[in-house]
Chain A
């Protein structure tokens, strides 16, 4: 009873404001502390994830750098993270350009599918595909990344023409791909996203011989977020 009497007294507005401010301050301090403490690890994790994905789709890559399409050319991105308008260029140990890793994003069976595929412009060859994010049905739609046969179809696929997904077993042309039985829609969505991304990017890619050069900037070297990839990383094997 006495407690509730206490409550009934109106605290001054100053107290309200002050307590909010103090709480805000303390919480700000705590948050920045945890942020700093985990900052590097998280950055590493993210970079590794991206790296692994790029590795999967572009074999023999040792370095990569993020590019934007600006003013009709590809320029090197400065941003830490990754966004939809980015494309990745892969380089071998010598820093020689190998190919691009292109993102695709769009509606799947259930929700948005986000994927990455490798592309060698000079050979017009698709080198592999990886799903970054999807909420497709477990057991059905998730075969787009679990079914190795399906994933394998995008390795060394010649991109002369838009890809077409056909019912499993009825593949009769080079540009066709066997869809997954029971997940035809997801497979078709994957193909559709790839075609769309390909159409978006292929005219923008630098013409033969003028591939973006790998630049080891000061920033990239210094920070752990560098787009540089440690060649010793065991994950390299994935691409094969």
Chain B
């Protein structure tokens, strides 16, 4: 037969693709987290740097070890494992022994991602799963907070960071309480300005509301995240906490404090919006966000723990398959 022209390719239309790729979507999040990450270095110095490095390394290493050989390049290349590591690190207290951070990252990727079949297959947010594991495993170390220092103290390493694997860290003399802890256990409010700037005690990435808002706005503008989820979280949390605040202003924090303190912003912008573990459908996103907002305030105000973002997101993650199932959009032309 005459086939002097190139053997034609048969490839499914459409041949046109928009520019964003999945690794690109991940990079957007890295970029949006940059200010917060830098701030954590500013506030917590070398401790923060080491925690971040160890956590990312743990995550990437685990992904590498447990992924099939032929998928490895792709899996590491999309930078999602590293992102999980970074996000985990940003939720850790600055004085956490490094070995714990490493273990957390291994659990994040191992139990949170690889076991489910890798990127896209997991039900639970890997970073938060890792944090939940750490919180349950080492509750004391995970609730011991160092106070933020400044850049001057960059090389001041919290002594507990360097504990031997499987051993206690030495608890720093100057451990502090987080704004939420202060509120819950001592009924003390923290000034909103400090919440905004971030010179309070807390995990690496949750202290500065301003920078988190900045990153979140970037993602929203770039349409990298679904706007419904953070909106629903903020609205629900604000309304619920306002109701309680009106009820008893001494006992319960104001909505502003609720929104700007703890992991709410970090969680609402970066974690609840993890596309993999949040619902697909628009209605589902609203329900998910409302659920997270409700649960976080419920746990904070009525539960045993001062902070509930972690559990709020994980619980709603668990419900996501159900939400997705029952909120399928109405198909065009169908009832």
Contacts and interface: CB of A to CB of B under 8 A. Distances in A.
Contact of B139 (A167, A182, A184): A182
A180 to B, nearest CB: 11
A157 B186 CA distance: 23
A140 B139 contact: yes
Majority secondary structure of chain B interface residues (helix, strand, loop or mixed):
helix
Interface in B115-156: 139-140, 143
Contacts of A167: 177, 185-186
Contacts of B6: none
B185 A182 contact: no
Interface string A121-160: 0000000000000000101100000000000000000000
Interface in B139-197: 139-140, 143, 177, 185-186
A137 B185 CA distance: 18
Contacts of A139: 139-140
Nearest to A189: B304
Contacts of B186: 166-167
Nearest to A110: B304
Contacts of B140: 139-140, 182
Contact of B143 (A109, A166, A182): A182
Interface residues of A, number: 10
Contacts of A162: none
A170 to B, nearest CB: 8
A139 B143 CA distance: 14
B185 to A, nearest CB: 5
A184 B304 CA distance: 9
B185 A184 contact: yes
A167 B304 CA distance: 16
Contacts of B139: 137, 139-140, 182
A110 B186 CA distance: 21
A205 interface: no
A39 to B, nearest CB: 41
A192 B205 CA distance: 36
Nearest to A179: B185
Nearest to B140: A182
Interface of B: 139-140, 143, 177, 185-186, 304
Given A140-B139, A166-B186, 14 more contacts: A109-B304, A137-B139, A139-B139, A139-B140, A140-B140, A167-B177, A167-B185, A167-B186, A179-B185, A182-B139, A182-B140, A182-B143, A184-B185, A185-B304
16 contacts: A109-B304, A137-B139, A139-B139, A139-B140, A140-B139, A140-B140, A166-B186, A167-B177, A167-B185, A167-B186, A179-B185, A182-B139, A182-B140, A182-B143, A184-B185, A185-B304
Closest 3 CB pairs of A and B: A182-B140, A185-B304, A109-B304
